[in-house]
Amino acid sequence: MKGIGIACLLLVLSAATAGAQVADGTYDIRADDGAVCLQASPPDGDAPPQTVSVAVCDRGAGQAWTAVQASGGYVRLMAEPGLCLDGNDPGEAARAGAAFLAPCAEAGTQLWEAVSAADDAVRLKTRFGGGYLCLRRNPDAQVHAGAPFMSRCRDGARQLWRLVPRMAEEEEAGAMSPPRAEPGVPASCRVSIGPRAYTGPCRFLRDRSRDDGSFALRASDGGALFDGIADLAVEVAAPGRGTLRAYLSDGTPRDLGPVTRTGACWTGAEATVCTGAARPSPEPRTSGSTCYVAGDLVGRLDGTCILGKHGNPPTRRSRRLSIGGLVVID
């Protein structure tokens, strides 16, 4: 797998602390709001490779944590053998107490338990802290250079995480690819991105690799919805919250940030996506009007078609429509 080694995270299953079951597999470790993920490599490349950070979720290799059962009821999350997530001792001077990646060892700072919280979220505790220290995401670049760190466990949202499974093909690719494997079902869409908007037919694709309501939208004709966007994907991180991503016609992804659900719409700071049932095509109808081309009677308007006199198709003798010609509908 690409990228810097992705540490080993050890999650202990404890009935006494309502431990969350973590099966073997590869996961994204998302913050509870679904916008950012735990990342083994720094997002800007400026920090040392051993630094752990949080970054906008992108399904990249640096955010893939593969769970492997370990002794003593623990689970390792490993992408590159031998490299583990170390919660660090908050009192240590090394890395100012921030979590980091280190060679795997039996240190208590590398032993973790996933403790169930509300709405399927978990808290990640280390054995080192006697069960009283939890991994906390850090939005403040002035503290630990913005890296996650261990702090006393409490009900704060910054200590809540979600382990979102990945599929094998995503692990191989190292990133989410455009959802273009199936045609989807007819739907109607209303999409706005900045000042641009699209309202009309589309196709709805359920993400079958996940059972959380994630989906994608695609143009009905297989082309672009608008502005070169071929697909729009909503990746659900928690009930009513997710991330919106656009895929251009060449497959290039564009992150549109976190979105929240209200009814049939997912709305964020930059974009809104709404879906509904496909609208039936209108039945052809006869207007009862007559059509003249440059003064000659052609026929009657029927929906979008011009019929000849008495409802028959125009004959060769009928005057043809041409660009710039005068058309009068009576």
DSSP-assigned beta bridge partners for residue 229: 226, 248
CB atoms within 10 A of CB 105: 13
Please name the fold of domain 11-171.
Answer: Trefoil (Acidic Fibroblast Growth Factor, subunit A) (2.80.10)
Three-state DSSP state, 222: coil
**Average pLDDT by consecutive 10-residue portion of the chain (330 residues)?**
40 43 77 79 55 78 74 68 78 68 79 80 82 81 72 87 68 41 72 87 75 79 78 84 85 86 87 79 51 50 45 48 49
Structural contact between residues 247 and 235, judged by C-beta atoms closer than 8 angstroms: no
Q: How high is the pLDDT of residue 272? A: 92
The pLDDT, as a whole number, for residue 95 is 59
178-277 folds as Lipocalin (2.40.128)
Domain boundaries, the chain: 11-171, 178-277, 286-329
The pLDDT of residue 177 is 43
Q: Which residue has the tokens 């492997």?
A: 68
How many Cβ atoms from other residues are within 10 Å of residue 311's Cβ?
10
pLDDT for residue 165: 81
Q: 311: which 2 tokens? A: 């409802």
Q: What pLDDT shows up at residue 267?
A: 92
Angstrom CA distances, 101 to 132, 178, 205, 244, stand at 21, 31, 38, 30
Residue written as token pair 């297989």: 222
Residue 101, classified by CB atoms within 10 Å of its CB into exposed (0-12), middle (13-18) or buried (19+), is buried
- The model's pTM: 0.49
What's the CA gap between 61 and 166, in Å, rounded? Answer: 11
